[in-house]
């Protein structure tokens, strides 16, 4: 027997786990950030990631569409009512070639199951925390830097960000500038040269005040001289790392050379690492 209401029997053309884009900002021809509505039930720890994406093209044989999902660090802090993401644009990337064209009002798919290792729970208490990022690896730190817990847990917070050129630093630079002028955050981080939050941006392919890979600058002691720090030790220092595979590997070796050990949610230690995900 045919259903009485035929319209109701048709598939509904909405995405599963749909969220609505509220704003989009393009930083360079390789980088953009965007904000989406947050599912009311979504709880996450600053630094975690979720799977997000769009519907893929129809399969030529069956005409069926499958969601095209990638892991994205949530760049907004856990208290924010929206969710923010910071993404690379890969011109022939299956997802980001499309995702870079989203506009406010569009829908994306967001699977509300946050996970990840760049969380405070995976680190032992310490005096100083280092956030080491390259490129879009800044995203989880954009969340953690805006989370008061970071400043409650540590006396000093150092974020290093290495990018190819100056324009690629802009998202992070602006975020830190806003933090330093935010009245509520000022109470936590201070506003003067004694501020708890220290920002150490470097570029590798364009002239800027600080040139070079952070790995090199750590190995030759430049970072410590610039920041007036004796060095990194397991007694005082903790670190979170997010960048390309090669970067993560190189930083890990450096941190292990300083005597730090890798931790996990179930076994907190001195540092944790996560790959910056490329769509
Ligand atoms: P470089 O220009 O010397 O390759 P990308 O845009 O390719 O993701 O790179 C982001 C930044 O990370 C670039 O400045 C790049 O430097 C740097 N980088 C890439 N690999 C490493 C590594 N193994 N150690 C330190 N920095 C790295």
In the chain, residues under CATH classification 2.40.30.10 are 9-115
Name the residue at shortest CA distance from atom 16 of ligand 1.
204
Q: What is the pTM of this model?
A: 0.93
Provide CATH 3.40.50.80 ranges for the chain.
120-275
CATH number of 120-275: 3.40.50.80
Query: What topology is assigned to 9-115 in CATH?
Result: Elongation Factor Tu (Ef-tu); domain 3 (2.40.30)
CA–centroid distance, 162 to ligand 1, in Å, is 7
Of 162, 211, 250, 276, best ligand 1 pocket probe by most atoms within 8 Å of the beta carbon: 162
* Per-residue tens of pLDDT for the chain, all 279 residues: 444 444 455 554 466 799 999 999 999 999 999 999 999 899 999 999 999 999 988 889 998 888 999 999 999 999 999 999 999 999 999 999 999 999 999 999 999 999 999 999 999 999 999 999 999 999 999 999 999 999 999 999 999 999 999 999 999 999 999 998 888 888 888 766 557 999 999 999 999 999 999 999 999 999 999 999 999 999 999 999 999 999 999 999 999 999 999 999 899 999 999 988 764
ipTM tops 0.85: yes
Q: What number does the ligand 1 atom closest to the CA of 168 have? A: 6
Q: Is there a contact between 173 and 202 (Cβ–Cβ < 8 Å)?
A: no
Tell me how far the alpha carbon of residue 89 lies from the centroid of ligand 1, in angstroms: 17
Ligand 1 shell residues, CB under 6 Å = 134-135, 162-164, 204-205, 213, 215, 244, 246-247, 250
Instruction: Copy the structure tokens of residue 263.
Output: 């931790």
Edge to edge, what strands does the sheet with 107-115 contain? 67-73, 49-55, 107-115, 18-26, 31-37, 82-88
């Amino acid at each position: 027997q045919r259903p009485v209401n035929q319209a109701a029997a048709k598939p509904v053309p909405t995405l599963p786990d749909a969220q609505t884009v509220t704003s989009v900002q393009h930083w360079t021809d390789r980088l953009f950030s965007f904000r989406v509505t947050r599912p009311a039930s979504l709880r996450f720890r600053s630094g975690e990631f979720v799977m997000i994406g769009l519907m893929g093209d129809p399969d030529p044989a069956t005409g069926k569409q499958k969601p095209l999902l990638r892991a994205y660090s949530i760049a907004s802090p856990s208290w924010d009512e929206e969710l923010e993401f910071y993404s690379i644009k890969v011109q022939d990337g299956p997802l980001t070639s499309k995702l870079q064209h989203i506009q406010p009002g569009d829908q994306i798919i967001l699977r509300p199951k946050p996970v990840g290792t760049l969380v405070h729970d995976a680190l032992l208490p310490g005096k100083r925390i280092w956030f080491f990022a390259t490129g879009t690896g800044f995203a989880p730190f954009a969340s953690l830097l805006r989370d008061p817990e970071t400043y409650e847990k540590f006396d000093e917070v150092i974020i290093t960000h290495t990018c190819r050129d100056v324009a690629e630093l802009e998202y992070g630079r602006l975020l830190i500038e806003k933090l330093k002028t935010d009245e509520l955050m000022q109470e936590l981080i201070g506003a003067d040269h004694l501020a708890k939050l220290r920002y150490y941006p470097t570029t590798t392919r364009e002239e800027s005040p600080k040139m070079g890979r952070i790995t090199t600058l750590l190995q030759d002691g430049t970072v410590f001289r610039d920041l007036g720090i004796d060095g990194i030790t397991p007694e005082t220092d903790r670190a979170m790392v997010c960048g390309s595979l090669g970067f993560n590997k190189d930083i890990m070796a450096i941190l292990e050379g300083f005597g730090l050990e890798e931790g996990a949610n179930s076994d907190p230690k001195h540092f944790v690492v996560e790959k910056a995900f490329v769509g």
